[in-house]
Structure 1
Amino acid sequence: MAVVRQFQGPIDLHAHSSVSDGTETPAELVRAAAGAGLGTVALTDHDSTAGWAAASTAARAARITLIPGMEFSTRVQYASVHLLAYLFDPADSALLAEVTRVRAARLSRAEQMVARIGMDYDLSWDDVLAQTTPGATVGRPHIADALVARGHALNRSAAFADILHWKAGYFQPHYAPDPLHAIELVRAAGGVPVIAHPATRGIADVVSESRLKTMVGAGLFGLELEHRENNPEPTARLYELATRFGLYVTGSSDYHGTGKPNRFGENTTAPEVLDRIIAEGHGSAPVYG
């Protein structure tokens, strides 16, 4: 059966609410997306689907299409690789168990980092919790916000460039599955997996041609190549590999409200790619406003 888009307009498939490290609630995010002129937005909070219900209600009211999603934390050695997952079943037991393990590891990592930072700066775990909403996936952005609130950094970006930079000595990794396993889990849960901003920092170095080929065999759908943080040279290489392996290319803002300078619609996804995502995703359904 052919996919029929309910509404026309720009398509942005990567956005974060206060359920993870965005600054707006899921409903506020959806209203902001509609106000920015988008026709479709995906809610992709880190390792969480807790915002889906509120975002769905807001999408219907705002007459915008919502693609339920998540940004799944994965890792290749010490390099973090984020996997965007769309239209999967949030109750799938295997996927839920792995996401729960990742969330617990992120929380433990954050607590340990704050303890280290607190030895040199006036910062406590309560300061970090004050920057979160109940049930949020706590991570380094919340530590950054706490550092800003305490006057130790000008903004999030400055905190990441200084105190939260790995060279400062406070950083430590957390558990995350290999992206190949994550892709398998997402597909088994009826979802559609896309590697987020794969040409940033060290990610492009670990996504070798052979590794990418293996991921494609496991069900990788595409690469988010239109993203402000992708570097030009590896992006060009990945475009070539996407063509060779038949991968789809997406574009997104990676919107975080005031948490990042990224703005809705600064990069978008082609309608035919969204059609394909909807055709392949069967774990959950788009919400048509």
Structure 2
Amino acid sequence: MAIIDLHSHSTRSDGKESPTEVFEHAAAAGVDVLALTDHDTTNGWAEASEAASRLGMGFVPGIEVTTRASVQVAGRNRFISVHMLAYLPDPENTALRQELLTTVNSRENRAMLMVDKLAEDYDITWELVLEMIEDGATIGRPAIADALVHLGAADDRSAAFRGPLDSRGKYYVPTDTVDSFDAIRLIREAGGVPVIAHPLTDISPNASRGDLPQDHFEKLIDAGLAGFEVYHREVPQNAREWLLLLAVEHDLIVTGSSDYHGVHGKPNRLGENTTEPEMLERIIELGSGVAAQL
């Protein structure tokens, strides 16, 4: 059976390898079909397409869109960052392109504010952060993490995210990006297929089903959400079981992916979680913005 991995990143956002290198490593790992889903950009699609053709692999064009949602958790209302995987959207769709540009600018402003805060305690500069990424790449916390590693303030990206860049720490700046419901609408109007990336990663492994925001998820489904990335190393088992039941109830697409960021990026490895062929077929049937290369 084909090995299908529908979530990976390159140097066009926060990955550590070029699109070509990502596909070369995927081929070496035995992956048959790979989606490149860089944050808020389609800049890597052309190179990915060329690499996939040369290697005899399938390529699914995608984007990981940064969104924000207001949810009730444990009886309290709070904003959370929701990453929305958009498969097969039209990259020339004006509304989606404009929103992605706005998001990229918002991410950069947020990163600059975080660097300003960090500079009070660390010898970090904006110029150093920019040295960590390719020109034109989407910037975010991983670039700041790489700068902290370069300074010796953290052993690796993961340590930086557990330490100075922790979302509960004093250096953190919350996201201010497109609302999740608006993102679903924009993706759909661009012919894309919206699937939530690594949902409920912040839910306690001991959380009961009553603690999970079912009402919020059902509203997203009513708005046009097509599925969940259930099989991901950061999705807790209790959340996975709950999401699978919800997917069956609403006949949603279920995917599995690595969320690969490079050999020297996150520990995630290509093909460690995969998507069933029939689920990819559903994505292809639903998507109309651009064709998958299979």
Counterpart contact for 1:72–1:82, Cα < 8 Å: yes
Structure 2 residue 229 is matched with structure 1 residue 224: yes
Structure 2 residue 260 is matched with structure 1 residue 267: no
Structure 2 residue 30 is matched with structure 1 residue 37: yes
Q: Secondary structure at the match of 1:167?
A: coil
Structure 2 residue 80 is matched with structure 1 residue 75: no
Q: Report the residue type matching 2:283 in the other structure.
A: I
Counterpart for residue 166 of structure 1: 167
Runs of 4+ in 1 over 3 A off after TM superposition: 202-207
Q: Is there any run of 5+ residues in structure 2 with no aligned partner, and where?
A: 71-78
Deviations 1:130-150 (A, max 9, x none): 100011111100000000001
Structure 2 residue 218 is matched with structure 1 residue 213: yes
TM norm structure 2: 0.92
Q: Which of 55, 69, 84 is 1:62 aligned to? A: 55
Counterpart for residue 249 of structure 1: 254
> How many correspondences in the alignment?
281
Counterpart for residue 4 of structure 1: none
Counterpart contact for 2:203–2:239, Cα < 8 Å: no
Q: Report percent identity of matched pairs.
A: 49
Counterpart contact for 2:68–2:175, Cα < 8 Å: no
Counterpart for residue 179 of structure 1: 180
Counterpart for residue 125 of structure 1: 126
Note the aligned Cα RMSD (angstroms): 1.6
Deviations 1:7-49 (A, max 9, x none): x620000000011111000111111111111110000001111
Question: C-alpha distance in 2, partners of 1:277/1:244?
Answer: 18
Q: Secondary structure at the match of 1:103?
A: helix
Question: C-alpha distance in 1, partners of 2:52/2:265?
Answer: 22
TM norm structure 1: 0.94
Counterpart contact for 2:203–2:236, Cα < 8 Å: no
Question: C-alpha distance in 2, partners of 1:47/1:168?
Answer: 25
Question: C-alpha distance in 1, partners of 2:65/2:282?
Answer: 20
Following TM superposition, by how much is the alpha carbon of 1:234 offset from its aligned partner in structure 2, in angstroms?
Answer: 1.8
Following TM superposition, by how much is the alpha carbon of 1:73 offset from its aligned partner in structure 2, in angstroms?
Answer: 0.5
Structure 2 residue 240 is matched with structure 1 residue 235: yes
Structure 2 residue 139 is matched with structure 1 residue 134: no
Q: Which of 278, 284, 287 is 1:281 aligned to? A: 287
Structure 2 residue 149 is matched with structure 1 residue 148: yes
Following TM superposition, by how much is the alpha carbon of 1:179 offset from its aligned partner in structure 2, in angstroms?
Answer: 1.2
Following TM superposition, by how much is the alpha carbon of 1:206 offset from its aligned partner in structure 2, in angstroms?
Answer: 9.5
Deviations 1:51-78 (A, max 9, x none): 0011111111011000000000011132
Q: Report the residue type matching 2:223 in the other structure.
A: A
Q: Secondary structure at the match of 1:41?
A: strand
Counterpart contact for 2:114–2:172, Cα < 8 Å: yes
Greater mean alpha carbon deviation, residues 153-162 or residues 210-219: 210-219
